[in-house]
Amino acid sequence: MTDTANLTPDDAFELLLAGNQRFVAGTPEHPNQDAERRAALAAVQQPFAVLFGCSDSRLAAEIIFDRGLGDLFVVRTAGHVMGPEVLGSIEYGVGVLGCPLVVVLGHDACGAVAATRSAVEDGATADGYVRDVIERVTPSVLAARAAGLTDNGEIIAEHTRNTVDLLLDRSRVLADQVAAGRTGVVGLTYSLADGSARVVAARGLKAAEV
């Protein structure tokens, strides 16, 4: 298993980025996906990153970052919106499992962002709890509009940055870990067409400065 006790936040980010580069190049190694790895994880897990991303079916984290069993502690919701259960899950990954990296993963053609833009611009409504997702994305869309951003990619990047800021604002556990240099947080936006992940925000990381 990857020894997270000896990984810095930058080490973890570089490990994750290398996997994405292999995926983009079409040369994945499919690490940690065999019976030996499965057996080794039966009693303990030591992931090197928490990945908080959108539930979109095209965003399978272990595939796009070319990782395997036990590598990533994954939390996913539509539009990567968060509530107490999401924050608790991320804090578990950082505070209990000792992950040195937290990743917020947005992507282009995000349905949650598109639905929120329609609600803001056209007054379109949604039924049930989809409305709650839209309400949680709305501050990001409004912030993007206030900044004069109109391109979908720019708005999604803004939503990803806002999620990073919100995580650190709402989670004292995570903020303290970042302040102590034990954990880094990075916001990435993923391109569905070419499979690449681009840094749009970073906290506590030197390798991911934007």
Which among 169, 57, 176, 164 is positioned nearest to 103, based on CA atoms? 164
Our CA angle for 173, 174, 177, nearest 5°, is: 90
Tens digits of per-residue pLDDT, 29-87? Answer: 999 999 999 999 999 999 999 999 999 999 999 999 999 999 999 999 999 999 999 99
Measured distance CA(81)–CA(83) in Å, rounded: 7
Name residues whose C-beta falls within 8 Å of residue 27's C-beta, 6 or more positions apart in sequence. none
Q: What are phi and psi of 122, to 5 degrees?
A: -115, -5
Which of helix, strand or coil describes residue 8?
coil
Query: Contact 189/107 with Cβ under 8 angstroms?
Result: yes
Give the pLDDT mean for 181-185: 96
| Of 120-124, 130-134, 141-145, 196-200, minimum mean pLDDT range | 120-124
Residue 95 is classified by DSSP as: I
Which among 1, 6, 7 is positioned nearest to 205, based on CA atoms? 7
Q: What are phi and psi of 72, to 5 degrees?
A: -125, 135
Measured distance CA(168)–CA(10) in Å, rounded: 18
pLDDT for res 3: 56
The separation between CA 6 and the C-alpha centre of its own chain, rounded to angstroms, equals 22
pTM beyond 0.75? yes
Does the pLDDT at position 1 exceed 60? Answer: no
Query: Contact 205/177 with Cβ under 8 angstroms?
Result: no
**Band of pLDDT at residue 192, cut at 50, 70 and 90:** very high
Measured distance CA(47)–CA(15) in Å, rounded: 12
